[in-house]
Amino acid sequence: ELAIPTIDAEPGPFPFTPSTCALLVIDMQRDFVEPGGFGESLGNDVSQLRRAIAPNRRLLAAWRSHGLLVVHTREGHRPDLSDLPPAKRTRGNPALAIGDQGPMGRILVRGEPGHDIITELTPLPGEPIIDKPGKGAFYATTLQTVLQARGITQLIVTGVTTEVCVHTTVREANDRGYDCLVPADATASYFPEFHAAGLAMIKAQGGIFGWVSDTDRVLAALA
Ligand code: C5J
């Protein structure tokens, strides 16, 4: 009898089917993660996010070496800002708003240097990159089509930030029937208390949104 491979996780073992499980790396963009970017200009401590880089490198290497699907996302807008709700641009009355000239080009505008994925995690040719105008990776994108075309039913969701774009994406994916696992060390927040709360919420109530594990345990299941 074949044992079903599992990833050790909370609230219980994750039934892992690698060929139908994509690695979904959320918004590891220069403007969020690098010193001198938009995130730091808002007063955030980017070192909180940079801790997720090395775990994501390990996960990417493993997914690529096994020939499994990797999907990357970027949060951003068209240069004419026609996909930017005015409420998103003006809320909080920021000194630097989306579309303004920032330290790495126009803030969260597609094609600008700050919108790029950090060089440590550069997508390989052939890996889908989903450009998204919202926090969730399914809203107003082709992500579900891309996943369905590859027969994907499970997602390992990593990237930034835990309680914003990772959480919104996990909620969207869960409602669409995907099993989601979040490796805690491969996601991060500017706010450690929100990181902890976000992960606790995913695995609560028997895994109401999904599973939480860590990079070591995911890689152990793939070895
Ligand atoms: C992401 C944000 N990617 N925090 N964006 O989480 O605004």
pTM of the model: 0.98
Atom of ligand 1 nearest to the CA of 164: 6
Q: What residues does ligand 1 touch, defined as CB less than 6 Å away?
A: 27, 32, 75, 160-161, 164-165
Q: How far apart are CA 122 and CA 176, in angstroms?
A: 28
ipTM of predicted assembly, 2 dp: 0.92
Catalytic center residues: 27, 132, 165
- Are the C-beta atoms of 50 and 160 separated by less than 8 Å? no
Protein residue with least CA distance to atom 7, ligand 1: 164
Per-residue pLDDT of the chain (223 residues), as tens digits, is 667 899 999 999 999 999 999 999 999 999 999 999 999 988 999 999 999 999 999 999 999 999 999 999 999 999 999 999 999 999 988 889 999 999 999 999 999 999 999 999 999 999 999 999 999 999 999 999 999 999 999 999 999 999 999 999 999 999 999 999 999 999 999 999 999 999 999 999 999 999 999 999 999 999 8
Rounded Cα gap, residues 101 and 103, in angstroms: 7
CA of 216 to the centre of ligand 1 (A): 25
- Amino acid in position 196: A
Cα(101) to centroid(ligand 1), Å: 19
